Amino acid sequence: MTRYFTKDHEWLAVEGDTATVGITDYAQNALGDITFVEVPEVGKAYAKGDTASVVDSVKAASDVYAPASGEVTEVNEALDGEPELVNTSPESEGWLWRQTIADAADLADLMDEAAYQAYIAEL
């Protein structure tokens, strides 16, 4: 599994041609207590950069963008009853959706963990 990060604070864990997507610990800290997660529809295809999900918190609603083009294959149903999983476990149990990777070239401009840590250190 390879993990990538976006400048919009999404992470994706890629295995083969499938990615699990969520928001980073940095993002959930900035948002505060998550109160609701609108996950994308299974079967819907998104282009890289499309708004695929919305995370609502006590502070704001925040769009979550598709970090790569592909089709949603699964959503994290646990978030319906426990949106706070995004706060308590943002980069594992609090994942948002899984999708296919339509074009591996979409991953080329994403950051690895070291680059992402350097990026957020400058914010």
In the chain, domain spans: 2-121
Binning the chain into helix, strand and coil, the percentages to the nearest 5 are 25, 35, 40
Q: Which CATH architecture has domain 2-121?
A: Beta Barrel (2.40)
Q: Are 63 and 112 in contact (CB under 8 A)?
A: no
> pTM above the 0.85 mark?
yes
- Model pLDDT for residues 58-117, shown as the tens digit of each residue: 999 999 999 999 999 999 999 999 999 999 999 999 999 999 999 999 999 999 999 999
